Amino acid sequence: MTYRHTFQRHKTREVRVGDKVVGGDNPIWVQSMTTPDTHDLEATVEQIHRLEEAGCEIVRVTVPKPQDAAVLTEIKKRIHLPLICDIHFDYKMALAALDHPVDKIRINPGNIGGYDRYRQVIRKAKTKGMPMRIGVNAGSLERELVEKHGFPCPPAMVESALRYIEIAESEGYHDMIVSLKSSDVITAVEAYRLYAKQADYPTHIGITEAGKAPYAVTKSACGLAPILLDGFGDTIRISLLGDPVPEIQAAFDILQATQRRVRKPELIACPTCGRLEIDLEGIVAQVEKRLAHKTTAVKISILGCIVNGPGEAREADLGIAAGKGKGVIFKRGEIVRHVEEREMVDALLEEVETWEQEEAASGRLTNGHNPADANGRVKLPVV
């Protein structure tokens, strides 16, 4: 039978961003950022539409110039995602963005010119009822904190975040999300762990400037997995060089692998080796194709080895353990049918259909390895 994991999620307050609620027991939302100049309206909207089609749930555009701020209302009219405005260096661009019907602004308080300017942004955001992400990046940490700690280390990053939270709270402002990004995996992991001990504002997580895929996806997975498995993170972005659309699949794959947001069947297959006595690669390809439209949270193993196959198949929700041209199908750890190789794909898909019917009839939206329902809503205990 599938091992029943016990997960705990760091308890955070909720912050509304457009039609999404970030934090609490809500899904870990997937977001990305556009690459054209924002004032290039057609290119920006076209890319956002492609991100929407890929499953992006929150999108961010950069606003470094007045002409970028000028098109925000039109962008918002033409998209279906919460719109975040990314601000660096010029606090006036934050103030200008707040005059448009956007859904959140993102600033790095350390690079917009001092506390007074930061307070101006806070006050206007509060007046507009607008949430804000406070972005603390290792690469743009305040000089005084770098000098105090010797280098942009996790304690310096967390001290910076807490300082800006305190300033916002002194203005009566609490609609904040926090990020503590670094291009260094260990720095990012330790920063989020340290932050979680001291604050309950929801977090946006990512490994910044990860670089070019495929290495950047691997690096992001290495950094985000411990963060997610520790129960941290309320929105996520995988930062990749180039077209941002592939970021979306990478993010959902990492959430699926860490069982933080399971939205499709998980298919397990043994590596190709000399012990195989069936066309495992062909069978897996057929099953993947026929499961492509499914959102059922079911763990399926397809094993073509008599050494590890039976044991591994028992551990999945559904599993095939095959030998020479034939095999058995396990369901919840028990053998339910014997099949010839030519029948395996059809038989397995029949069992998936039966599984779906049984889950629907029982009213179960989750199973032991899946902490989210079909819509991705997290069902984790919080601490």
Along the 383 residues of the chain, how does pLDDT read in single tens digits?
444 555 788 999 999 999 999 999 999 999 999 999 999 999 999 999 999 999 999 999 999 999 999 999 999 999 999 999 999 889 999 999 999 999 999 999 888 878 899 999 999 999 999 999 999 987 778 888 888 888 889 999 999 999 999 999 999 999 999 999 888 999 999 999 999 999 999 999 999 876 899 999 999 999 999 999 999 999 999 999 999 999 999 999 999 999 899 888 888 887 766 667 778 888 899 999 998 888 888 889 888 766 565 666 777 889 888 878 888 898 888 899 998 989 889 999 999 999 888 888 877 644 433 444 433 444 433 33
Res 137: pLDDT: 84
User: What is the strand order of the sheet 266-269 is part of?
Assistant: 266-269, 299-303, 318-322, 326-331, 334-340
- Give residue 38's Cα distance to chain centre: 24
Rounded to the nearest 5 percent, the helix, strand and coil shares of the chain are: 40, 20, 40
Quote the crossing angle between the two packed helices 185-196 and 215-229, to the nearest 10°: 20
Res 374: pLDDT: 37
Alpha helices by DSSP H, listed for 55-178, are 66-70, 72-77, 91-97, 115-128, 143-149, 154-170
Amino acid symbol at 88? H
Burial of 60 (0-12, 13-18, 19+ CB in 10 A): buried
Residue 18, CA distances (Å) to 70, 105, 254, 305, 374 in order:
20, 12, 24, 50, 22
Distance CA 327, CA 76 (A): 55
Res 6: pLDDT: 59
Q: Which helix (H) or strand (E) holds 41?
A: helix 41-54
Specify the DSSP class assigned to residue 182.
B
Amino acid symbol at 121? V
Q: What torsion do the CA atoms of 119, 157, 175, 220 make, to the nearest 10 degrees?
A: 140
Distance CA 45, CA 47 (A): 5
Q: Are 53 and 79 in contact (CB under 8 A)?
A: no
Distance CA 376, CA 383 (A): 20
